[in-house]
Structure 1
Amino acid sequence: MNLVQVLFYVMAFVVVASALFVASSKNLVRSIFMFFITLFGLAGLYVLALADFVAVTQIVIYVGGVLILILFAFMLSGKETLGILQQQKGKFISFNKLPAILFALLFFVVMINVVLKTDAPNLPWIKQATAANAVIKPNDIMTDNIGINLMTRYLLPFEAISILLMVALVGAAHLARKEKGTV
């Protein structure tokens, strides 16, 4: 095993463990900070996959945007609401959650089955890309190509996504503000 594989397994373990902690923790503050670790670990996995632009986008948009919005919503919510959320009793595995757990287990079995039965090096599209030398190498500069395409060919979808993100920001601010006369 080489260093890249060791780093992959370490980061994959960190991402999966922190994501499970986020899903199972009843403490909202700890869940938010573990979500921060999950998002950074995912960015590290993108770097290992030679997707540097996606890794930077992951950090800027999700860690710098979405996670900060979650923190603001948490800080602006009242103590009563947070107290009610943390006092909800229930086990991680209960009868009420059985359909969701079964669905998650079914999805996990299907995913493991696909990974085990896929012979990735012998897939036709991978063989064609390798034969045509159309593979990403560690010294390729992909960010220039992405920037040119975003500002020419994909300008309209890029602007539509920016408007969608602005609407989500305004909606989050509207939901976080307190109405007069409410607790």
Structure 2
Amino acid sequence: MELIIFYIFAFIVLTSAILVVSLKNTARSLFLFFVVLFAMAGLFIFAFADFIAITQILVYVGGVLILMIFAFMLSNKQLLEDLQNTSKKFLSLPNWQSLLVAIGFLVVMSYGIFEWQEHTPRWITENIHKGAVIGPSDNNIEELGIKFMTKYLLPFEVISLFLLAALIGAAHLSRKEDHS
């Protein structure tokens, strides 16, 4: 049953992400981005990263995505009309280069998957032999909290500055400018 649910979440992530980048309607793309973030949180739960899943929902869905929605709603209507009238096709590639990049990424990812199935990296086998593998009953939230406030304090604060920049950017986009 867990495998079926995992594949359902993976299918939702992939199809929604493809639609996010291919739809020309910004409102629908933002809604599908919302779906992608929630489904990714579900995949994080399957990877025993419950803290990351909760953080995904709180920070990205609760913070950044809401700022993007407000910036969209309060932005210039002429800009929105231009975005929606650019193309009437469901899936459209702006340039043939994007197709080549996508195929390149597919080749690299496929090569990586086949290599890992043939030869497991040394650091994975060493951790398996040491018993340093996260299990379903392990609680890693306390250890993550200690690491955030000691070893990773600077990156943690840098992320808070990025969120502040997103808030300032949303406020700037929503400000009405007088062109007279």
Q: TM-score, normalised by structure 2?
A: 0.90
Going from structure 1 to structure 2, the CA distance change for 1:39 and 1:76 (only over 3 Å counts) comes to: same
Alignment counterpart, residue 102 of structure 1, candidates 93, 100, 103: 100
Please state if 1:41 is matched with 2:39: yes
Going from structure 1 to structure 2, the CA distance change for 1:176 and 1:120 (only over 3 Å counts) comes to: farther
Matched to 2:38, the amino acid is F
Q: Give, in whole Å, the separation in 1 of the partners of 2:50 and 2:83.
A: 38
Structure 2, unaligned stretches of length 5 or more?
none
Q: Give, in whole Å, the separation in 2 of the partners of 1:52 and 1:120.
A: 30
Q: Give, in whole Å, the separation in 2 of the partners of 1:158 and 1:25.
A: 33
Aligned residue runs from structure 1 range 1-183, under 5 A: 3-89=1-87, 91=89, 92-94=91-93, 96-119=94-117, 122-181=120-179
Aligned-pair identity (%): 47
Q: Give, in whole Å, the separation in 2 of the partners of 1:174 and 1:16.
A: 32
What is the CA distance between 1:25 and its match in structure 2?
1.4
Farther off after superposition, 173-182 or 72-81: 173-182
Name segments (4+ residues, structure 1) moved above 3 Å.
90-94
Q: TM-score, normalised by structure 1?
A: 0.89
The count of corresponding residues between Structure 1 and Structure 2 is 179
Q: Give, in whole Å, the separation in 1 of the partners of 2:171 and 2:102.
A: 33
Q: Give, in whole Å, the separation in 2 of the partners of 1:141 and 1:120.
A: 32
What value does the CA root-mean-square deviation take over the aligned residues? 1.8
Structure 1, unaligned stretches of length 5 or more?
none
Instruction: Please give the secondary structure, in 1, of the residue aligned with 2:133.
Output: coil
Farther off after superposition, 139-148 or 150-159: 150-159
Q: Give, in whole Å, the separation in 1 of the partners of 2:31 and 2:147.
A: 35
Question: CA offsets per residue over residues 69-99 of structure 1, 9 Å max, x none?
Answer: 11001110132221111011265345x5101
Going from structure 1 to structure 2, the CA distance change for 1:142 and 1:47 (only over 3 Å counts) comes to: same
Going from structure 1 to structure 2, the CA distance change for 1:120 and 1:57 (only over 3 Å counts) comes to: farther
Please tell me whether the aligned partners of residues 121 and 127 of structure 1 are also in contact (alpha carbons under 8 angstroms).
no
